[in-house]
Amino acid sequence: MAGDRELRSERRMTDVEALMWNLEKDPRLSASIANITLFDRPPDPDRLRARLERAVTMIPRLHQRVVPALGRLAPPEWRAEEDFDLDYHLRWTALPAPGTLAQLLDLATTHVQRPFDRTRPLWEFLVIENLEGGRAAMVQKLHHSIADGEGSIRMSEQFIDIEPDATEPIAPHRPPPESLDATLLATTIDTFTHQLRRGLGLVRRSAEGGVAVVQDPRQLTSLAGDALELARSARRQIAVADPARSPLWEQRSLRRGIQVLQVPLAEAKAAANTLGGSLNDIFVTAAAGGAGAYHRAAGSPIDELRITMPVSTRRDHSAGGNSFTPTRVLLPVGIQDPQERFSAIRARLETTKQERAMSVVSGLAGVANLLPTSVVTRLARQQAETVDFATSNVRGAPFPLYIAGALIEANYPVGPTGGTAWNLTLMSYNGHLDMGLNADLGAVTDPKGLRDAIADEFAALIAAGTQTSTRRRPSRN
């Protein structure tokens, strides 16, 4: 149940969250995530406002702003907004006739791309009416430092219902913000002790490792091998030197274009099982296959492309916060047979999940946060330019959901490009896979063509899975 979930609301950002916050000083590295929700009708304004009022009370992050640490000696902290205004964060607008999906996506692109006011809580909901057929939509925009995809879905349980006429809970009283003097004193003390605590932790772990080696000198050989493999993994994951592989997507810009696509969940899942992999395997294979087909159609065939994708490290049912490690992997996109490409990509994804460098990302983020912003953003841009595109996969509800009386027909997630050419994020919902394609228009000149190529690859993979299943089915004669 939503009310029983542990809510992650530590006073300070983690090192990874702080790095996302600092990198956003370069707008190409924006860390905004969003969701384009389609409704069968407009949600009831009073009910929606009441539910969000309650959510803001129950989820501290929604009424907190970011306060930088003194001298960046510690990650920024979250502090309650003294003059919180819900009507700033929940807004309404309408499309001009005829209210098409293309008009909605244009408006959503503009809204998602607009930077947050960094002096306010980092979320905005925009309800959009006058879609064709009396339908409506809502663009839910959130800063990545508040939550990752999984954490944000669990936070949304505070204002999402499983029936259209759900009883509205009474919004509890929000406690007053801490006194400024007390907060400033606590912040000052905590800032100056943060690095000390981190240093003591390193000393303790080093001492424990040293004692273990003294007790069993044979561990030296194992430690040397581990260190060598960690260095190799770091070269593949953290300090990549060679550039991205696509000859078409070398340019980067601040212009964005959002496209959406939808695939039946049951068909995709059945095909993945038949082909010997997971739903994520078929998703990444379709994205890579679409990218390969896009290059062939443009007369620039390519054998491999490098992607980045998060691997979840969340081991509980908590809401909010970030629990993921970014990974990079080279994928074969020149294999035109869908089944062969699926097998090759599945093998590479399986290997990437075992990368040892994933365990040191948080520590490196802490070090990076101590560097001047100009230096860390330049380094991040250099590493982003080694990646062609990004993917992410989030699991949603398998049944219908409602917001303020309106049925959710589709949920299209929109992930940040992070300096890459495009991002494709998937969310499963009520029997289908909803995907949002967020493209850098400086790199991808035909985002609709890329979307169609990815959709075609999903169809080809589903067909390949069906054919394989038919061949394996025993004869009834």
pLDDT in tens, 388-410: 999 999 999 999 999 999 999 99
Q: Could you tell me the two tokens for 197? A: 């605590």
Alpha-carbon span 175 to 177, nearest angstrom: 6
Nearest to 295 by CA among 252, 350, 347, 244: 244
- Region of 418 (left: φ > 0; alpha: ψ -120 to 50; beta: rest) is left
Nearest to 417 by CA among 29, 6, 106, 90: 29
Sign of the alpha-carbon dihedral angle for 449, 453, 454, 455: positive
224 vs 234, 357, 428, CA distance in Å?
A: 15, 15, 43
- Give the sheet arrangement for strand 304-312, strand by strand: 256-264, 432-440, 422-429, 389-395, 304-312, 324-332
Alpha-carbon span 335 to 6, nearest angstrom: 45
Coil, strand, or helix at residue 182? helix
| 123 bridge partner residues | 142
- The DSSP bridge pattern shows strands 389-395 and 422-429 to be parallel
Residue 474 phi/psi, 5° resolution?
Answer: -70, 150
Residue 48 phi/psi, 5° resolution?
Answer: -65, -45
8 Å CB contact between 432 and 279: no
Alpha-carbon span 260 to 251, nearest angstrom: 23
Alpha-carbon span 66 to 75, nearest angstrom: 10
Alpha-carbon span 437 to 334, nearest angstrom: 21
What are the structural domains, with CATH classification, of the chain? 256-393+421-472 (3.30.559.30)
- The DSSP bridge pattern shows strands 402-403 and 324-332 to be unpaired
pLDDT at 289: 97
Nearest to 275 by CA among 61, 465, 36, 134: 465
Alpha-carbon span 425 to 415, nearest angstrom: 6
179 vs 64, 142, 316, CA distance in Å?
A: 14, 27, 33
pLDDT at 215: 55
State the angle between helix axes of 180-215 and 219-237 in degrees (0 to 180), rounded to the nearest 10. Answer: 130
213 vs 162, 390, 404, CA distance in Å?
A: 56, 41, 61
DSSP state of 161: B
Q: What angle do CA 8, 9, 12 make, to 5 degrees?
A: 120
Q: Could you tell me the two tokens for 358? A: 């994933």
Alpha-carbon span 120 to 82, nearest angstrom: 10
Q: How many Å separate Cα 197 from the centre of its chain?
A: 30
pLDDT at 213: 43
- The DSSP bridge pattern shows strands 123-131 and 90-94 to be parallel
Which contiguous run of DSSP H or E holds residue 224?
A: helix 219-237
Alpha helical stretches, state H, 6-155: 15-23, 45-58, 86-89, 101-113, 149-155
pLDDT at 20: 92
Alpha-carbon span 446 to 469, nearest angstrom: 35
pLDDT at 2: 46
239 vs 175, 231, 234, 365, CA distance in Å?
A: 45, 10, 6, 13
- The DSSP bridge pattern shows strands 256-264 and 422-429 to be unpaired
Q: Could you tell me the two tokens for 89? A: 């964060």
pLDDT at 190: 56
Alpha-carbon span 431 to 274, nearest angstrom: 19
Ranges of residues in the chain with a pLDDT under 70 are 1-5, 71-72, 168-239, 354-362, 469-477
pLDDT at 95: 98
Straight-line distance from the first to the last Cα atom of the chain, in angstroms, rounded to the nearest whole number: 50
Nearest to 404 by CA among 182, 227, 166: 166
Alpha-carbon span 33 to 124, nearest angstrom: 11
* pTM of the predicted structure, to 2 decimals: 0.85
Alpha-carbon span 418 to 398, nearest angstrom: 29
